[in-house]
Amino acid sequence: MLPVVVVHGGAGHIPKERAERSTSGVCSAARAGYAILRGGGSSMDAVVEAVALMEDNPAFNAGCGSVLNIKGEVEMDAIVMEGKTLASGAVSAVRNIANPVRLARLVMDKTSHACLTAEGANLFARQMGIPEVPMESLITDYSRMRWKKNLEPNANPVECQMGKTGTVGAVAVDAEGNIACATSTGGMLNKMEGRVGDTPCIGSGGYADNEVGAVSTTGHGEAIMKVTLARLILFHMEQGKSAEEASDLGLAYMKSRVNSLGGVVTVDPRGCWAARFSSRQMSWAAAQRDTLHHGLRSGEHFTQSIDDPH
């Protein structure tokens, strides 16, 4: 079954004109992650590269393409976790960084902390030699248009985001059986300055444990945190549920308990995987045994050879 990588490009309702870009973005990310695994690389390298590629892709709400906060600025959150030692690293409310997921990994690798926030995270980035980029380079016309629209008095940014969201994440198991997850986001549309969502919170935006599996989540962060969605799904797997059953149980609980929709990608230590969502859509892709799997709408599951031209 091993190795495997599964990625998502955010839960919600992706408008028709953006669906194609979202699908090709997740497929490229899964291919990139799988190339690393196929070459004998680690699951951590695979999830970081897959997520960094989607951060660079303006089709997603992460890195370039992030949604804007109430002031029209970009503040991003990201997490990585590796299942062998349960080490994790995260950044929250970080600015002017092209790839927050790489910074989260450096927090894990180079500090004794699990999360750095705001100016402290930026200071650490400077110390690590990560170049700062102008905020303008992370802002797209689309994100500015949606920010403006949601400043109107009768706007409902949460509803609007669940209409067009695009947080990114990945989970992977490598040939040695090591498991990892990574998630990255610009957060919620028109959020307050300094708002931190579920993504950098261990057990909510992601979790990885070699003994159980890994999950990366997407949806309304305030709801995901209430049910600690990633860890809840792994709890169900500890109780003997499959990756798919556990994902559905976690999402159903979030819907019934806090009335909120979302999506997840999940793997278990044997390489069984799931991409599940309660929202209308979630772009996802998985790569395993030289086959690329992908889908966007409920019930959709396309496959092709990983080496097929895109």
Q: Does 69 bind ligand ASP (CB under 6 A)?
A: no
User: Which listed residue (219, 269, 271, 295) binds ligand ASP by CB under 6 A?
Assistant: 219
- Which is nearer to ligand ASP, 83 or 157 (by Cβ)? 157
User: Which listed residue (41, 197, 203, 213) binds ligand ASP by CB under 6 A?
Assistant: 197
Contact in structure between 259 and 3 (CB atoms under 8 Å): no
Closest residue by beta carbon to ligand ASP: 221
Give, in order, the Cα–Cα distances in Å from 76 to each of 12, 64, 90, 271. Answer: 19, 10, 11, 30
CA distance 61 to 9: 8
Give the CB-side neighbour count of residue 221, counting CA atoms within 13 A: 25
220 marked as binding residue = yes
- Which is nearer to ligand ASP, 74 or 306 (by Cβ)? 74
Contact in structure between 218 and 263 (CB atoms under 8 Å): yes
The residue range among 92-100, 125-133, 143-151, 215-223 that interacts with ligand ASP, by the rule CB under 6 A, is 215-223
The residue range among 89-97, 130-138, 214-222, 265-273 that interacts with ligand ASP, by the rule CB under 6 A, is 214-222
Q: Which residue has the tokens 């790839």?
A: 99
Contact in structure between 17 and 145 (CB atoms under 8 Å): no
CA distance 229 to 212: 15
Closest distance to ligand ASP from the beta carbon of 12 (Å): 7
219 marked as binding residue = yes
Give, in order, the Cα–Cα distances in Å from 54 to each of 82, 121, 168, 185, 275. Answer: 20, 21, 7, 10, 17
* Residue 148 phi, psi dihedral angles, 5° rounding: -60, -45
209 marked as binding residue = no
196 marked as binding residue = yes
Closest distance to ligand ASP from the beta carbon of 200 (Å): 9
Q: Does 218 bind ligand ASP (CB under 6 A)?
A: yes
Contact in structure between 17 and 59 (CB atoms under 8 Å): no
Closest distance to ligand ASP from the beta carbon of 262 (Å): 7
Contacts of 81 (CB under 8 A, 6+ apart): 87, 88, 89, 108, 180, 181, 182, 202, 206, 207, 208, 214
CA distance 121 to 188: 20
Q: Does 213 bind ligand ASP (CB under 6 A)?
A: no
* Residue 15 phi, psi dihedral angles, 5° rounding: -60, 150
56 marked as binding residue = no
Q: Does 199 bind ligand ASP (CB under 6 A)?
A: yes
- Which is nearer to ligand ASP, 221 or 250 (by Cβ)? 221
Span 2-41, contacts to ligand ASP by CB under 6 A: 10
Edge to edge, what strands does the sheet with 168-173 contain? 115-117, 87-94, 76-82, 179-185, 168-173, 4-12, 281-288, 291-297, 302-305
| Binding pattern for the stretch 167-196 against ligand ASP, x by CB under 6 A and - elsewhere | x-----------------x-xx--------
- Which is nearer to ligand ASP, 261 or 274 (by Cβ)? 261
Q: Which positions are catalytic?
A: 167
Q: Which residue has the tokens 């600015």?
A: 95
- Which is nearer to ligand ASP, 165 or 281 (by Cβ)? 165
- Which is nearer to ligand ASP, 224 or 232 (by Cβ)? 224
Summarize as ranges the residues that interact with ligand ASP (CB under 6 A): 10, 61, 165, 167, 185, 187-188, 197-199, 218-221, 224
State the binding site.
195-198, 218-221
